Amino acid sequence: MALYIGRRLLQVIPMLLLISLVVFLMIQAAPYDVVDSITTPNMSAETIEIIRQRYGLDDPVLVQYFRWLGNVLQGDLGYSLVSQYSISADLAAKIPNTVILVVPAYLTALALAIGLGLWAGANHGRRIDRFIDGASAIGLATPPFWFALLVIYLFGYYLNWFPIIGMHTVGQDDLIDLLRHFVMPYLVLTVAFAPELLRYVRSSTVSQLREDYVLVQRAFGASRAEIFRNHVSRNVLLPIVTQIGVALPLLVTGAIITETIFGWPGVGPYFLTATKSLDYPVILAILLLSATLVIVGNLIADILYVLVDPRVRLERSRS
Amino acid sequence: MSTLTTVPRERRLRDALARAPQAWFALIFLTVVILLSLLAPLLPLDPDTTDLDAMSAPPSLEHWFGTDQLGRDYFARVVFGGRISLLVGFLAMIAATAIGALVGLVAGFAHPRIDNLLMRLVDFLSSIPWMILVIVASVFLRPGLVTIIIVIGGFTWMTTARLVRAETLSVKERAYVGYSGYIGERAPRIVGRHILPDALPTILVAATTNISQAMMTEASLSFLGVGIQQPMASWGSLLQTAQGSLQQLPHLALIPGLLIMATVFSFNALGNTLRRYLSRGA
């Protein structure tokens, strides 16, 4: 087990280094840099040169890369070209807002997906299955931002139940106010997450029911409900544990569009504002962060998979 | 299974369609939308003329989908927007499918070292969330129609590559491929003549997924303002404009979204029916 984790870590590290190198080179290739953003046209060439030296921008590229990497490893992601604020500090303020929106929505979507997916899979081919499958196909085809507009129109304008923008009303920061702002983005995000998870649960239920062990159990006289409860549902639910790893990057980038529509002060609006003002360090910091989370998330998923399912160990020789 | 292979192809296709009523909806809907998009310049539709007597009008007999704030006929705007959405979808799909199929075929057939290299590239690109990847790319290029096609096509081929590679690896083991290598056929010929035809169904199914994904991506990017730029309009950018007047004119937001949904749903439904038909026929 330790060996397996060790070997996977060895695969992950070069990948992370490669991504950091690509991100660094993209910062280098960007049409302007930090110095351009703090110098003014009436500074003399010598002054600009001194600033360049102070920032170490006249060093060889590799030296700059390792200095940058050292800073990143210490949690220093550099500074925004527009506001001059520390990107790490900005992200530390934004990420919690994204997390409190994404986590409840994802957990609700997962619970819905497991419940409905098992229900549909157990009744494969019947009316209820076709209904649930059709609903998830429609959900999959619905653009989340369009659904957000419908929700805003219905609950925000027409019924006037919930505020349509932001996280707090100015001057009010009690829990009730937060919840009122939370309902609509949460609903939109849940609907955005659920269909894909639901398809996954349903199709793995259907394929588990075709396994030989179901036939054997039937032959030994077990009832359908017993087989389903004791064997099928467990085999379906075990691999879902690994989804925790796969979902890790959602904590940062899971709600970019939804947050932007609802003016929720998370990573999404921060990222898009940076995109529109060509704030390269911010854009690339988020790129680096989300790619790292994907890689680490996949690592966690693989390790969890080995932990929860002892059969996987048999396949070690193949990997 | 052997009885199924004796059933004529047309009958199997009809059976597959009969078992999937949504596939009929998909076929009819897509035919209408594609025909309207192709014929739009020939029809008496003008997306730019303003009707000053009917600004911000709700749907009526004269203006089927109503008009926008400037009095432009919304039906015409939606039809012309659909041309752009479908164009981006088709071209990006062709790009993504071609790159994915090529990488998959080469990786599956070439030396394991090349295979390994290509698959690490696929892993690398897949490890960045697509939205971040596409937005970063569209920042480095100038936003517009060509950019968005390049960006979507160039960064969404990885799933296709994985599928085609897996198919190639299994086809490669078949006797006739081994034989053609034995009689000295060159690698490109073997891939083109023997492996590609067998991998074609996989590529076709991947293409239907690619087109709905490309259209969805284009709509999201245009909605966020980093996709199709004014004065050009797609369904996604029509939705972006409609967001501003959502309270007064909800139908401007309702219609393009419904069309995106129905189009994506249709391509997905066709893909699923195709996959079921092909897996039964195999």
CA distance A27 to chain B (A): 11
Torsion of CA B204, B206, B212, B213, to 10 degrees: -150
- Residues of B within 8 A of A15 (CB-CB) are 123-124, 127
Cis link prior to A144 (omega < 30° from 0)?
no
Contact pairs from chain A to chain B, CB under 8 Å: 111
Q: Phi and psi (nearest 5°) for A79?
A: -125, 145
- Residues of A within 8 A of B223 (CB-CB) are 143, 145, 257
Tell whether A143 is within 8 A of chain B (Cβ).
yes
> Which of A138, A261, A295 shows the shortest C-beta gap to B127?
A295
- Closest CA relative to residue A64, chosen from A51, A50, A80, A53: A53
Report the SS3 class of residue B73: strand
Tell whether B264 is within 8 A of chain A (Cβ).
yes
The model's confidence at residue A5, banded by pLDDT at 50, 70 and 90, is confident
Q: Which residues pair with B67 in a beta bridge?
A: B73
DSSP B134: H
Stretch 247-266 of chain A: residues touching chain B, C-beta under 8 Å:
249, 253, 256-257, 260-261
Record: contact B243-A283, CB cut-off 8 A: no
First to last CA, chain B: 9
ipTM of predicted assembly, 2 dp: 0.84
**Fold of the domain spanning B20-39+73-278:** MetI-like fold (1.10.3720)
Give the residue from B125, B139, B213 with the most A CB atoms within 10 Å of its CB, the best one to mutate.
Answer: B139
Residue A229: Cβ-neighbour burial (10 angstroms; 0-12, 13-18, 19+): exposed
pLDDT digit string, tens, across residues B187-239? 888 888 888 888 888 899 999 999 999 999 999 989 988 888 878 889 999 89
**Fold of the domain spanning A87-282:** MetI-like fold (1.10.3720)
For position A184, what pLDDT does the model report?
92
CB contact at 8 A, A14 and A286: no
Domain limits of chain B?
20-39+73-278
Higher pLDDT: A300 or B20? It is A300
The model's confidence at residue A38, banded by pLDDT at 50, 70 and 90, is low
CB contact at 8 A, B19 and B275: no
What helix, strand, coil percent values describe chain B, rounded to 5?
75, 0, 25
DSSP A131: H
Record: contact B123-A15, CB cut-off 8 A: yes
Record: contact B246-A149, CB cut-off 8 A: yes
Q: CA–CA separation, B75 vs B66, rounded Å?
A: 7
> Which of A26, A146, A249 shows the shortest C-beta gap to B260?
A146
> Which of A142, A152, A291 shows the shortest C-beta gap to B128?
A291
What mean pLDDT is predicted for residues A285-300? 88
pLDDT digit string, tens, across residues B101-159? 999 999 988 888 999 889 888 888 888 777 787 777 777 777 788 888 988 998 889 99
Check whether A300 has a pLDDT greater than 50: yes
> Which of B128, B223, B261 shows the shortest C-beta gap to A142?
B261
- Closest CA relative to residue B203, chosen from B133, B268, B274: B274
Q: CA–CA separation, A296 vs B127, rounded Å?
A: 10
Question: How many CB atoms sit inside 10 A of residue B76's CB?
Answer: 21
Check whether A318 has a pLDDT greater than 60: no
Tell whether A288 is within 8 A of chain B (Cβ).
no
CB contact at 8 A, B188 and B58: no
Q: CA–CA separation, A81 vs A87, rounded Å?
A: 10
CB contact at 8 A, A91 and A82: no
Higher pLDDT: A215 or B280? It is A215
- Residues of B within 8 A of A140 (CB-CB) are 264-265, 268
Amino acid at B180: S
CB contact at 8 A, B8 and B281: no
Residue B79: Cβ-neighbour burial (10 angstroms; 0-12, 13-18, 19+): buried
Check whether B281 has a pLDDT greater than 60: no
- Residues of A within 8 A of B238 (CB-CB) are none
pLDDT digit string, tens, across residues A217-254? 888 888 888 888 888 888 888 878 778 788 888 888 88
Rg over CA atoms, chain B: 22
Tell whether B273 is within 8 A of chain A (Cβ).
no
- Residues of B within 8 A of A291 (CB-CB) are 127-129, 132
pLDDT digit string, tens, across residues B35-94? 999 988 888 777 777 777 777 777 777 777 777 777 788 888 888 999 999 999 999 999
Q: Phi and psi (nearest 5°) for A86?
A: -70, 130
What mean pLDDT is predicted for residues A200-223? 86
Could you tell me which chain B residue has the CA closest to the CA of A273? B224
Using CA atoms, how far residue B76 sits from A309, B63, B147, B214, B253, in Å, is 57, 9, 25, 23, 15
Rg over CA atoms, chain A: 25
pLDDT digit string, tens, across residues A96-141? 999 999 999 999 999 999 999 999 988 888 899 999 999 999 999 9
Higher pLDDT: A29 or B103? It is B103
Tell whether B95 is within 8 A of chain A (Cβ).
no
Query: DSSP letters of A53-93?
Result: HHTTTTS-HHHHHHHHHHHHHTT---B-TTT--BHHHHHHH
Alpha helix ranges (H) inside chain A: 2-29, 34-38, 45-54, 61-73, 87-122, 127-141, 144-151, 175-209, 212-219, 224-227, 233-237, 243-246, 250-253, 256-262, 267-276, 280-308
Amino acid at A287: L
Residue located via tokens 């998870």: A197
Record: contact B127-A298, CB cut-off 8 A: yes
Could you tell me which chain A residue has the CA closest to the CA of B138? A275
Record: contact B129-A290, CB cut-off 8 A: yes
For position A117, what pLDDT does the model report?
92
Largest separation between any pair of C-alpha atoms in chain B: 77
Higher pLDDT: B151 or A29? It is B151
The model's confidence at residue B7, banded by pLDDT at 50, 70 and 90, is low
